[in-house]
Structure 1
């Protein structure tokens, strides 16, 4: 697959912003072994949108500028999510469209999301902070033993420890659930791939996850509690409860969202700055915790892309976009747009304001953002309160995925502090 010129009927008059050839933006190895930030920088230097023809029938426009990314994600009338939001489903309507929150447009999306948003407000999540802290402390404990600690592996487990607790999922299932969700977001990675290849991996993981939640909700429906799964089961809209299929689909979406966003921001920080002054600076200035993890989210942009389809003929960045065209927003590209972020290629602990799009924007702004922020705040608090002298102990390895931007292995060492400095003030 190559990046090709868009059809002549779509080319903006008087200019040609399309490269005749170039890297394949669908290829997951571009994000694990290539230089995506450099590519996005080059694409931002062009006037219009960038078209990639995937095959005879499918192609998509790429959005790498902040302004247009913001517009596409907010304007649900012109750009729908209901046909699918991931490149893996390009040209194939998502069967969960209209059922799963991620692939439902307002006003139905707004009604379905309301109960879950109430359960995940900053105030509600704040009540869970000390439980989250206990989980994080336990997860980090081996770091102080003096040996090599795979920070990325621990961080990939962290979302399930937190979300599994909030959804009241059995702890014995957390490790399996972590791997199954990783298989869904990184089916091209040999470490998580089934023998039958990518398609078999996705099919196996999805069938097992959906079957797991089918059995779980059958039991939980008769034993409702105060957990997130119970909130989904008891949510009413349009005078009815969600069907079992709708609940299962949204449980799946919640797990995938948590397992992409939360782990990779801290993993990027340790992978790229262990042994540097960045971590020492952060630890020495607890007041930077909030701006620090916000910058980590911008820097990592863990959700690599989201896709929409144009519902009508429109124009975006001077480029005609036809009804039915796929439009892919590269969040990492938008988060390094120099028209919004000063010195965007510099990691700045003191960056304020920081209007990053790591959680998206508009109606589909990440419903679990308060959980993610609280978890990241607690994580960096405990990391710098308890440990210091972080050093790389091997070569980091990137996760092979075009959806999740992150590392799967980051070997480090650290030393346990002989005494703990005053705890950082954690804000949600």
Structure 2
């Protein structure tokens, strides 16, 4: 094993509750960037790994996608969950490496290109207005996360897939239980086997969707996935379902977290809210700043395929590295005043969508959703303030606010 550099602050990466206290989390990440930018983490319940916290090092690891592979450990989970998920046979885009990754990614790529996004914008803008109108109807107080932010992007991604609206609540339950399994409120105390049952139930749903689209092809993304072929052969059942799972879950929770975290940031920085009111032309840079500020994907893992080094630290073949995106997006070497929320920040070299061949497939759609929502909301928002204590999801992978009680006046 490599000679480890151990810093107790690095335990935050394997502590889901650490992500519920952003002040303490970022204090730990700031310390690690300065004193142990590549550190060895070995805690009970998890297989050990290296934690990488600097923007430049994370970019370098992601670029070296043949040396640092997604398989067999694409995300940080408990050792028990690693085994359960391996047994389930999940094979999403985040589990794949080239050349297979490149071929499978191409199946959905056209749905997120500029032409498709221009066509999708009409629907996204309609849904943005629908949910701001909903805020007006249920006001003057609401839990913005649960009543607005989780639903708007869910409706967008389900519309893209072609899932009937009557099934949207079911999809919401799936995503909350899968990405919230480290949070007591969302896991409901379920055992790992029960959580696997949720995953298998989701698989059953999407298997039925695949069969329906193969029997009667349509013009939605679900049909494109169901009827795709790789090397002349249709995708296997597990590969097809895995594709639906990554689109439905990753395309929902990440955007929901950004929208709710973005509003929270504007409430905490009223001068920046006023800047957006005064200059709507800042919306594009504001969207990027919200994404940087929230960084809903907390980490991905990579596994070294040969002995190598990261920032002079020896990493042996077979050892895993965790890429900390919240740390990279506050890196003092990259961002001027990284702890200042600035809706006009330019340039903004955040890596919340990753980097290299695994750059987020749905990045353009996520940006569009955030922009559309706040373009609709801000001109109508007369006032907004907290009406209670915001709460974050306990997680080690994807997350953000789970409750944001607000009091507001809308027109």
TM bracket (short chain): over 0.9
- How many Å separate the matches in 2 of 1:162 and 1:386? 22
- How many Å separate the matches in 1 of 2:123 and 2:37? 48
The answer for the alignment partner of 1:254 in structure 2 is: 247
Higher helix share: 2
1:82·1:94 contact (CA, 8 Å) conserved in 2?
Answer: no
Q: Among 312, 324, 332, which residue is 1:318 paired with?
A: 312
Q: Among 267, 279, 286, which residue is 1:285 paired with?
A: 279
Deviations 1:369-415 (A, max 9, x none): 11111111111111113223111111111112121230011111222
1:183·1:201 contact (CA, 8 Å) conserved in 2?
Answer: no
Q: Among 19, 23, 26, which residue is 2:14 paired with?
A: 26
The answer for the alignment partner of 2:40 in structure 1 is: 51
- How many Å separate the matches in 1 of 2:174 and 2:300? 21
The answer for the alignment partner of 1:422 in structure 2 is: none
- How many Å separate the matches in 1 of 2:90 and 2:8? 37
Cα deviation, residue 88, structure 1 = 0.9
SS in 2 for 1:70: helix
Cα deviation, residue 224, structure 1 = 1.1
Cα deviation, residue 139, structure 1 = 1.9
Query: What are the equivalent positions in structure 2 for 1:347-426 lying under 5 Å apart?
Result: 347-417=341-411
Task: Tell whether 2:205 aligns with 1:216.
Answer: no
Cα deviation, residue 102, structure 1 = 1.4
1:305·1:403 contact (CA, 8 Å) conserved in 2?
Answer: yes
Task: Tell whether 2:257 aligns with 1:264.
Answer: yes
The answer for the alignment partner of 2:69 in structure 1 is: 80
- Specify whether residues 155 and 285 from structure 1 end up closer, same or farther in structure 2 by C-alpha distance, changes over 3 A only: same
2:213·2:227 contact (CA, 8 Å) conserved in 1?
Answer: no
- Specify whether residues 56 and 353 from structure 1 end up closer, same or farther in structure 2 by C-alpha distance, changes over 3 A only: closer
Cα deviation, residue 161, structure 1 = 0.3
Query: Gaps spanning 5+ residues in structure 1: where?
Result: 1-6, 12-16, 418-428
The answer for the alignment partner of 2:93 in structure 1 is: 101
The answer for the alignment partner of 1:421 in structure 2 is: none
2:298·2:396 contact (CA, 8 Å) conserved in 1?
Answer: yes
The answer for the alignment partner of 2:197 in structure 1 is: 204
Cα deviation, residue 259, structure 1 = 2.2
Query: Gaps spanning 5+ residues in structure 2: where?
Result: none
The answer for the alignment partner of 2:105 in structure 1 is: 113
- How many Å separate the matches in 1 of 2:65 and 2:88? 17
Task: Tell whether 2:294 aligns with 1:306.
Answer: no
The answer for the alignment partner of 1:152 in structure 2 is: 145
Task: Tell whether 2:7 aligns with 1:39.
Answer: no
- How many Å separate the matches in 2 of 1:390 and 1:48? 39
- How many Å separate the matches in 1 of 2:45 and 2:169? 41
Deviates more, 1:51-60 or 1:229-238: 51-60
Structure 1 runs (4+) greater than 6 angstroms displaced: none
- How many Å separate the matches in 2 of 1:304 and 1:269? 16
Deviations 1:338-390 (A, max 9, x none): 11111111111111111211111111111111111111111111111322311
TM-score, normalised by the number of residues in structure 1:
0.89
- Specify whether residues 140 and 204 from structure 1 end up closer, same or farther in structure 2 by C-alpha distance, changes over 3 A only: farther
TM-score, normalised by the number of residues in structure 2:
0.93
Quote the RMSD (CA, aligned, Å): 2.0
- Specify whether residues 196 and 396 from structure 1 end up closer, same or farther in structure 2 by C-alpha distance, changes over 3 A only: same
